C-alpha cells in the first residue's frame, strides 16, 4: 500500500485533462456543432490541467502583484510587478489567442470552452485577457483608431514590458469606469475631458481600474457633449509616461494574482472612442462581452469545485468504505453535478447566441436579454456552490494548502464585477421593455423541448449510450471514473 493510501489522504488534484474528463463540457461543445474541435480542446485540457499549470496558479496567488511607484533614482514609474508564474500564465493564454480569437473568426463557443478550462487552473490572470478581448467591441465605434491598434491586439507573443504600445509585439487593454461617488451609476462620473485638437486631456479619479499594467485603458469622462468613451494609453505619442498615477492597489478578498487599482488622471492624453455623449452606449458593447466571460468563468470555477470534491470522495475512506460509496455523499455530489451541468450548458448556449446574433434576429434577442440573466444566475450560484464543495473535503477544504479555499475566495468576484445582482435584474427588465416582442419570443422558446440545452437527437442518443459524442471515443471520461 502506498504512503498516500495508508494515510487516507486524497492525492493532489493536479494531473487531469480538463476536457476529456468533463462530460458536460464535451456535450455543450458538441451541441455547438464543434465536434471537429475535440482534439484541439483535449490538448488544451491536458495543458491547463497539468501539475505544472496548477503550480503556476498557486505561485501567482501566493505572490501577489506589488506596486512600485518610484524607481531607485526617484523617477515616477507607476509600475506593478508580478511573479514570473503570472507572466507564464499570461503567455500561455495569449499564445492560445484567448484575448482575440473571436475577432479572428473563431467561434465564441470554442473560446468559451477554453476559457472555462483556463479559469480552473488560475483565475486572476483572466481579467486582462477578458478586458483585451472585450475592448475591441467598444473600439469598433472608432474604426480608424481600431485599425491602428488591432494588429498589436492580435499578437500572440506576450510582451509585459512597460514601453509605448507601438514598440511591442502585443498589447493588453484594461478598463477604468467607476468612481467613488457613483460606482455602477456611471452617469454621475466627474472625470473631465478637455479637447486638445484631435485628442483630449483627461483629469479626474477612478475608484477601480482593472489591470493597471495594461498598455491602454478604456475610460469614461465628461466631455463638452456629455459622457464619452476614451482610449487612454500608458504612454503618450512622444513616448513619455502618460498622466496616469496609480494611488494604490486594491486589497481584495480573492482574485489575488490580478492587480486592481485606484488611479488619478492628470491631464492624461486620450483619444475619443465613439461620438461625444455616447459613452454609455459605446462601453456597453464591451460590457456585454465581459458579462459573458463572467458567466463562463463562474461555471468553470464550479466545475473545478465539483471535480475536486469528487476526486477527494473517490480516494478518502470513512466509516469502512470510500466516501463516494456513502449514500449521503453520492446524493450531495449528484446535486452538485446537476448544477454544474446546467451552468455549463447555459453558459455555452449563451456563447452560441453571440456567434449567431449577427445573422439571426432571434439569437440576437436571446443574447441581449439573457446575457445579464445568465450572468446573474450562474455567478450568484458560484459562492454557495464552492462552499458546499469545500464541505465535501471537510477540514482539508478550509485550509490554504488545498485549492478550494482559493476558489471559494474567488467565487464572489464575477457576481459583483461587471454589474452586481440588482444591476443585472434591472438590465433584464430594461432589455425586455425596449424589445417586448423579442423578449416574449425568447421566453416562449423556453417552452420548446431542448430549447435551453440545444442538444440534437444524435447527441442525446450518444449520451444515453455513455458516449461524449458520436464517433469520439477519445473524448470519453477515463475508464472507471463516474460520469461527473
* Other residues' Cβ atoms within 10 Å of the Cβ of residue 95: 12
pLDDT in tens, 34-60: 999 999 999 999 999 999 999 999 999
Model pLDDT, residue 451: 53
Identify whether 245 is part of a domain.
Answer: no
In whole numbers, what is the pLDDT of the chain averaged over residues?
92
Q: Are 346 and 298 in contact (CB under 8 A)?
A: no
Model pLDDT, residue 454: 43
Q: How far from the centroid of its chain's Cα atoms is residue 62's Cα?
A: 20
Identify whether 53 is part of a domain.
Answer: no
Which segment, 288-297, 436-445, 470-479, is predicted with the most confidence on average? Answer: 288-297
Global pTM value: 0.92
Q: How far from the centroid of its chain's Cα atoms is residue 234's Cα?
A: 23
* CA 106/CA 104 separation, integer angstroms: 6
- DSSP code of 418? T
Model pLDDT, residue 338: 98
pLDDT in tens, 223-241: 999 999 999 999 999 999 9
Model pLDDT, residue 158: 98
The residue among 424, 438, 303 whose CA lies nearest residue 357 is 438
Whether the predicted pLDDT of 483 surpasses 60 = no
Model pLDDT, residue 124: 97
Identify whether 273 is part of a domain.
Answer: no
* CA 278/CA 119 separation, integer angstroms: 33
**Alpha helix (H) ranges present in 321-360?**
327-356
> How far is residue 415 from each of residues 90, 115, 264, 373, measured CA to CA in Å?
23, 17, 26, 11
Identify whether 363 is part of a domain.
Answer: yes
Q: What is the number of residues in the chain?
A: 484
What CATH number is attached to the domain comprising 455? 1.20.140.10
DSSP per-residue letters across 429-459: HHHHHHSHHHHHHHHHHTTSTTTTT---HHH
* CA 428/CA 153 separation, integer angstroms: 31
At 480, the pLDDT band (50, 70, 90 cuts) reads very low
Show the CA angle centred on residue 144, arms to residues 138 and 149, nearest 5°.
Answer: 70
Model pLDDT, residue 446: 81
At 6, the pLDDT band (50, 70, 90 cuts) reads low
The residue among 40, 103, 12 whose CA lies nearest residue 354 is 103
Q: Are 287 and 275 in contact (CB under 8 A)?
A: no
- Reduced to 3 states (helix: H, G, I; strand: E, B; else coil), residue 388 is helix
| Share above pLDDT 70 across residues of the chain, in percent, rounded to a whole number | 91
> How far is residue 271 from each of residues 145, 206, 228, 278, 388, measured CA to CA in Å?
8, 18, 10, 14, 47
Please state which of the ranges 186-190, 383-387, 446-450 shows the lowest mean pLDDT. Answer: 446-450
* CA 48/CA 8 separation, integer angstroms: 27
Model pLDDT, residue 460: 43
At 448, the pLDDT band (50, 70, 90 cuts) reads confident
Whether the predicted pLDDT of 90 surpasses 50 = yes
Model pLDDT, residue 286: 96
Q: What are the residues facing 219 on neighbouring strands?
A: 176, 230
Name the residue with higher pLDDT: 73 or 445.
73
> How much of the chain is in helix, strand and coil states, percent to nearest 5?
55, 15, 30
Model pLDDT, residue 447: 78
Q: How far from the centroid of its chain's Cα atoms is residue 255's Cα?
A: 11
Count how many domains the chain has.
1
List, in order, residues 6 or more apart from 77 with CB less than 8 Å away: 68, 69, 70, 71, 162, 241
List, in order, residues 6 or more apart from 356 with CB less than 8 Å away: 363, 364
**Strand pairing class (192-196; 66-70):** unpaired
Whether the predicted pLDDT of 262 surpasses 90 = yes
pLDDT mean over 108-135: 98
Q: What are the residues facing 200 on neighbouring strands?
A: 195, 270
* Other residues' Cβ atoms within 10 Å of the Cβ of residue 9: 13
Model pLDDT, residue 445: 85
pLDDT in tens, 454-476: 444 434 444 444 434 333 333 33
pLDDT mean over 413-440: 94
**Domain span holding position 374:** 281-464
pLDDT mean over 285-301: 97
Whether the predicted pLDDT of 450 surpasses 70 = no
Q: How far from the centroid of its chain's Cα atoms is residue 50's Cα?
A: 20
pLDDT in tens, 129-181: 999 999 999 999 999 999 999 999 999 999 999 999 999 999 999 999 999 99
- Reduced to 3 states (helix: H, G, I; strand: E, B; else coil), residue 421 is helix
Identify whether 181 is part of a domain.
Answer: no
**Alpha helix (H) ranges present in 63-162?**
84-95, 108-121, 126-139, 143-153
* Other residues' Cβ atoms within 10 Å of the Cβ of residue 58: 17
User: Using N-to-C axis directions, what is the helix angle for 23-31 and 108-121, rounded to 10°?
Assistant: 160
Please state which of the ranges 157-171, 268-282, 403-417, 462-476 shows the lowest mean pLDDT. Answer: 462-476
Whether the predicted pLDDT of 5 surpasses 60 = no
The rounded radius of gyration (Å) of the Cα atoms in the chain is: 23
Amino acid at each position: 500500500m502506498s504512503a498516500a493510501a495508508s494515510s487516507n489522504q486524497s492525492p493532489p488534484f493536479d494531473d487531469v485533462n480538463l476536457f476529456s474528463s468533463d462530460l458536460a463540457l464535451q456535450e455543450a461543445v458538441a451541441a455547438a456543432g464543434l465536434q471537429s474541435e475535440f482534439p484541439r480542446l483535449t490538448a488544451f485540457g491536458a495543458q491547463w490541467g497539468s501539475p505544472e499549470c496548477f503550480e503556476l496558479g498557486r505561485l501567482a496567488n501566493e505572490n501577489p502583484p506589488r506596486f512600485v511607484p518610484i524607481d531607485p533614482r526617484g523617477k515616477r514609474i507607476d509600475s506593478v510587478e508580478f511573479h514570473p508564474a503570472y507572466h507564464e500564465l499570461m503567455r500561455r493564454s495569449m499564445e492560445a489567442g484567448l484575448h482575440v480569437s473571436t475577432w479572428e473568426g473563431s467561434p465564441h463557443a470554442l473560446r468559451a470552452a477554453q476559457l472555462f478550462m483556463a479559469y480552473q487552473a488560475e483565475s486572476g490572470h483572466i481579467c486582462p485577457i477578458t478586458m483585451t478581448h472585450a475592448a475591441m467591441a467598444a473600439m469598433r465605434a472608432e474604426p480608424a483608431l481600431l485599425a491602428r491598434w488591432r494588429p498589436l491586439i492580435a499578437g500572440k507573443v506576450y510582451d509585459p514590458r512597460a514601453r509605448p504600445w507601438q514598440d511591442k509585439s502585443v498589447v493588453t487593454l484594461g478598463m477604468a469606469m467607476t468612481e467613488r461617488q457613483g460606482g455602477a451609476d456611471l452617469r454621475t462620473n466627474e472625470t473631465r475631458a478637455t479637447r486638445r485638437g484631435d485628442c483630449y486631456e483627461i483629469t479626474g479619479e477612478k475608484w477601480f481600474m482593472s489591470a493597471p499594467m495594461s498598455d491602454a485603458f478604456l475610460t469614461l469622462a465628461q466631455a463638452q457633449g456629455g459622457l464619452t468613451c476614451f482610449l487612454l494609453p500608458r504612454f503618450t505619442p512622444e513616448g513619455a509616461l502618460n498622466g496616469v498615477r496609480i494611488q494604490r492597489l486594491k486589497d481584495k478578498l480573492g482574485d489575488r494574482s490580478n492587480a486592481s487599482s485606484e488611479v488619478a488622471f492628470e491631464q492624461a492624453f486620450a483619444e475619443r472612442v465613439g461620438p461625444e455623449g455616447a459613452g454609455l452606449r459605446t462601453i456597453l458593447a464591451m460590457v456585454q462581452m465581459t458579462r459573458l466571460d463572467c458567466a463562463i468563468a463562474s461555471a468553470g470555477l464550479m466545475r473545478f469545485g465539483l471535480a475536486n470534491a469528487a476526486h477527494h470522495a473517490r480516494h478518502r475512506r470513512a466509516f469502512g468504505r470510500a466516501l463516494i460509496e456513502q449514500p449521503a455523499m453520492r446524493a450531495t455530489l449528484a446535486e452538485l453535478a446537476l448544477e454544474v451541468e446546467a451552468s455549463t450548458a447555459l453558459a455555452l448556449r449563451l456563447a452560441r447566441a453571440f456567434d449567431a446574433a449577427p445573422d439571426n434576429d432571434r439569437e440576437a434577442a436571446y443574447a441581449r436579454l439573457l446575457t445579464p440573466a445568465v450572468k446573474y444566475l450562474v455567478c450568484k450560484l458560484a459562492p454557495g456552490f464552492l462552499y458546499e464543495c469545500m464541505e465535501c473535503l471537510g477540514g482539508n477544504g478550509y485550509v490554504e494548502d488545498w485549492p478550494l479555499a482559493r476558489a471559494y475566495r474567488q467565487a464572489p468576484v464575477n457576481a459583483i464585477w461587471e454589474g452586481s445582482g440588482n444591476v443585472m435584474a434591472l438590465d433584464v427588465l430594461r432589455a425586455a421593455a425596449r424589445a417586448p416582442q423579442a423578449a416574449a419570443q425568447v421566453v416562449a422558446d423556453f417552452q420548446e423541448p431542448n430549447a435551453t440545452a440545444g442538444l440534437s437527437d444524435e447527441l442525446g442518443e450518444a449520451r444515453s449510450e455513455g458516449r461524449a459524442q458520436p464517433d469520439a471515443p477519445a473524448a470519453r471520461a477515463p475508464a472507471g471514473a463516474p460520469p461527473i
